[in-house]
Structure 1
Amino acid sequence: MTARTLGVVMNGVTGRMGYRQHLLRSVLAINEAGGVPLAGGGRVTLRPILVGRSAERVRALAERHGIPDWTADLDAALADPGADIYFDAQVTSARVGAVTRAIDAGKHVYVEKPTADSLEDAVTLAKKARAAGVKNGVVQDKLFLPGLRKLKRLVDGGFFGRVLSVRGEFGYWVFEGDWQAAQRPSWNYRAEDGGGIVLDMFPHWHYVLENLFGRVQAVTARAVTHVPRRWDENGSPYDATADDAAYGIFELEGGVIAQINSSWTTRVFRDELVEFQVDGTEGSAVAGLRRCRVQHRAMTPKPVWNPDLPATEKFREQWQEVPDNEDFDNGFKVQWEMFVRHVVEDAPFPHDFASGARGVQLAEAGLLSSAEGRRVELTPVDLGEESAR
């Protein structure tokens, strides 16, 4: 059985997401499992090369996990002849420049979403990667969550009949940082650093909607900053210049209407931090991160509106649980394995930079809709075409 090692330059792994999901639970977990199995036999292990702006933080992280290769010099990491892949989990505002340097160095590129903070830059990256002939991919982790995989199974099996609508609720209360520490980094709330819930979450909603229900054709959105003052990691107050909540209506091909609320200023009264309810002519489903419950047409009760009497029906108990039917691995790790196979044996990988650009397009259109108070139509992104009007 043949074995191969790929060098992976990992930029931004001192951050929460880059460290927990990508280094710890994906790259290192893949190596602990013996590598990525290939269709033709053999396995691929990964050699992480850690990069960050703070040499002290990168060194400490590398020493904690016994990783010999680390640097604060991105160009030096990209010059490593054994580095095959560049991965980027930095703040959004730093991504385009670093990914451009990686493409110029001939590296395959895999990045967190959004790929850029503007459609123009996202399209430029997609065109540049295509012209250079390097494999490229963007993280679209929610497609690999157990709850959404079960939901996809229902869609593929025709459970819903004709899908009518999708309703999503995402969010939780992010503390301001004064009397309790914030559980998200302060840059998320500064527009000048690429922050904002629209730029963060609309690319997620784009690939979920596109892959499960159809292309987004128009958006009407309202983005707001509910909490205008927050405190950073050093305890210093700052003005929040980015949106912390967004309320969107998305019109999909086939007449499906999706409504999704995204908020870092809401308190959770639901089973999971994100839930989607899908209603169709033949049945409905509610899917979260892990669970998915259904109610078929033949099993739908007939409630009667009567505000004069207390409700006696236990509505949640009238739904059935969708079984796992398989073992679900960490979604980030699963997509890492897919990208490695894409690099090594050209296995299919649909989540490329063009897909990432469509996600940025939706975010940009949502912000435009909010700023101008109008519905914004989207046309297919053609790697350079103007797409919001």
Structure 2
Amino acid sequence: MTSIDVRIAMNGVTGRMGHRQHLVRSVLALREEGGIRLADGTTLRPEPVLVGRDGARLRELAERYGLAHWSTDLDAVLADPSVTVYFDAQATCAREEALRKAIAAGKHVYCEKPTAADHAGALALARLARDAGVRHGVVQDKLFLPGVRGLRRLLDDGFFGRVLSVRGEFGYWVFEGDRQPAQRPSWNYRAQDGGGITGDMFPHWEYLLRELFGPVRSVQAHMATHIPRRWDEKGVPYEATADDAAYGIFELEGGAVAQFNSSWAVRVHRDELLELQVDGTEGSAVAGLRGCRVQHRTDTPRPVWDPDVPCTEDFRGQWRQVPDGEACGNAFKAQWELFLRHAVAGEPWRWDLFAGARGVRLAELARRSSAEGRRLPVPRDAPRELP
């Protein structure tokens, strides 16, 4: 049996997401499972090369997981011909330059979103990768979550009839950092460092809406900085210049309307940190990260508005759980496997840097909509830039 070592330069693994989801639960997990088996019997063995600015933290991670290679010299790693894939989970402000270097070095590139600080930069990266002939991808992990996969099955089966609306609720309370440590890095709340919930989450909403219900054709948004003062990792107060909440209404191709509330200044009163409610002519569903519940037209109750008497209906109890249709592992790991199959063997793949650019564009239009106080159209993509 043939085995191929796929050396992956992983930049940004000292951060929470890069460490937990991408390094440990994806790349190392795939390696521990024995690698990825291709149709011809070849096994791909992912081998991470840790890259970053903090040598001490990289060394500690390498020792913890028994990894032989780490470096603070990105240029040297990219010059190594044995490294075939570059992955980036750095802060957004550092990503575009590093991706350009990796593409110029002929590496296949895979990265977190947003792919760049603005749409022009994101689109330029996608075109650069296309013209260089390297394979490229962007993380779109929400598509691989069990709850979202449940929604996909319902849509494929025609459960909803005509989809009328989608309502998304995402967020949780991120502590300010004075009395309790913040759960997110301080750069997330500084616009000058690429922070803001609009740039972080609207790319997610773009691909979820596109893949499940259709492309976004217009956006109207309002951004807010609800918590103007926070404390950084050293306990030093700073002014929060980035948005910590964003409220968006999206018109979709076909006429359905979607609305998303995204906030790091909200206390959770729902089953999961992300919930999507889909309402259609024949049925409705509420999906979270893990579960999905439905109510068909034939099971829909007939509530009567009467504010003068207590409500006795158990509305939540009137929905039924959708059985798990397939075993779902870690969403990041599932997409990593697909990308490595694509990068090495050319297997089908559609979540490329052009998809990443569409997410950046939606966030950019949302910021402009908020600043100008009006609804904005979302342009259609050029045919060569669609997957």
Q: Which amino acid aligns with 1:208?
A: L
Deviation at residue 251 of structure 1 after TM alignment: 0.5
Q: Which amino acid aligns with 2:284?
A: S
Aligned partners of 1:150 and 1:384: how far apart in 2?
31
Aligned partners of 2:349 and 2:96: how far apart in 1?
21
- Contact (CA 8 Å) 2:13, 2:19: kept in 1 or not? yes
Match in the other structure for 2:152: 152
Match in the other structure for 1:27: 27
Q: Which amino acid aligns with 2:208?
A: V
Alignment of 1:142-221 (within 5 A): 142-221=142-221
Q: How many residues align?
A: 385
Aligned partners of 1:253 and 1:315: how far apart in 2?
31
Match in the other structure for 1:330: 330
Q: Structure 1: which 5+ residue stretches go unaligned?
A: none
Match in the other structure for 1:257: 257
More deviation in 325-334 or 285-294?
325-334
Match in the other structure for 1:115: 115
- Secondary structure of 1:329's counterpart equals coil
Aligned partners of 1:348 and 1:304: how far apart in 2?
51
- Contact (CA 8 Å) 1:37, 1:44: kept in 2 or not? yes
Deviation at residue 381 of structure 1 after TM alignment: 3.4
- Contact (CA 8 Å) 1:354, 1:383: kept in 2 or not? no
Aligned partners of 1:7 and 1:247: how far apart in 2?
41
Q: Which amino acid aligns with 2:292?
A: C
- Secondary structure of 2:102's counterpart equals helix
Match in the other structure for 1:294: 294
Match in the other structure for 1:105: 105
Deviation at residue 384 of structure 1 after TM alignment: 11
Match in the other structure for 1:56: 56
- Contact (CA 8 Å) 1:357, 1:381: kept in 2 or not? no
Runs (4+) off by over 3 Å: 381-385
Aligned partners of 1:31 and 1:58: how far apart in 2?
19
Rate the CA distance shift 1:176–1:384 in 2: closer, same or farther, 3 A: farther
- Contact (CA 8 Å) 1:163, 1:278: kept in 2 or not? yes
Q: Deviation per CA, 1:266-324, whole angstroms, max 9, x where unpaired?
A: 00000000000000000000000001000000111111111111000000110010000
Match in the other structure for 1:321: 321
Deviation at residue 344 of structure 1 after TM alignment: 1.6
Aligned partners of 2:40 and 2:362: how far apart in 1?
38
Q: Structure 2: which 5+ residue stretches go unaligned?
A: none
Deviation at residue 325 of structure 1 after TM alignment: 2.3
Q: Which amino acid aligns with 1:87?
A: F
Deviation at residue 343 of structure 1 after TM alignment: 1.1
- Contact (CA 8 Å) 2:85, 2:107: kept in 1 or not? yes
Match in the other structure for 1:43: 43
1:356 aligns with 2:367: no
- Contact (CA 8 Å) 2:177, 2:230: kept in 1 or not? yes
- Contact (CA 8 Å) 1:127, 1:383: kept in 2 or not? no
Q: Which amino acid aligns with 1:190?
A: R
- Alignment TM-score, normalising by the size of structure 1: 0.98
- Contact (CA 8 Å) 2:150, 2:325: kept in 1 or not? no
Q: Structure 1 vs Structure 2: percent identity of aligned residues?
A: 65
- Secondary structure of 1:106's counterpart equals coil
- Alignment TM-score, normalising by the size of structure 2: 0.98
Q: Which amino acid aligns with 2:177?
A: G
Aligned partners of 2:39 and 2:262: how far apart in 1?
39
- Contact (CA 8 Å) 1:171, 1:263: kept in 2 or not? yes
Aligned partners of 2:382 and 2:114: how far apart in 1?
18
- Contact (CA 8 Å) 1:36, 1:45: kept in 2 or not? yes
Q: Deviation per CA, 1:13-71, whole angstroms, max 9, x where unpaired?
A: 00000000000000000000010121222210111000011111111111111111000
Match in the other structure for 1:284: 284
Q: Deviation per CA, 1:239-286, whole angstroms, max 9, x where unpaired?
A: 000000000000100001001000000000000000000000000000
Aligned partners of 1:383 and 1:54: how far apart in 2?
42
- Contact (CA 8 Å) 1:124, 1:383: kept in 2 or not? no
Match in the other structure for 2:96: 96
Deviation at residue 3 of structure 1 after TM alignment: 1.1
Match in the other structure for 1:246: 246
Q: Which amino acid aligns with 1:311?
A: C
Aligned partners of 1:136 and 1:325: how far apart in 2?
30
Aligned partners of 1:331 and 1:208: how far apart in 2?
14
- Contact (CA 8 Å) 1:124, 1:384: kept in 2 or not? no
- Contact (CA 8 Å) 1:169, 1:276: kept in 2 or not? yes
- Contact (CA 8 Å) 2:11, 2:89: kept in 1 or not? yes
Aligned partners of 1:198 and 1:383: how far apart in 2?
27
Q: Deviation per CA, 1:205-232, whole angstroms, max 9, x where unpaired?
A: 0000000000000000000100000000
Aligned partners of 1:32 and 1:66: how far apart in 2?
12
Aligned partners of 2:2 and 2:71: how far apart in 1?
30
Q: Which amino acid aligns with 1:145?
A: L
Aligned partners of 1:81 and 1:127: how far apart in 2?
23
- Secondary structure of 2:254's counterpart equals helix
- Contact (CA 8 Å) 1:123, 1:383: kept in 2 or not? no
1:368 aligns with 2:368: yes
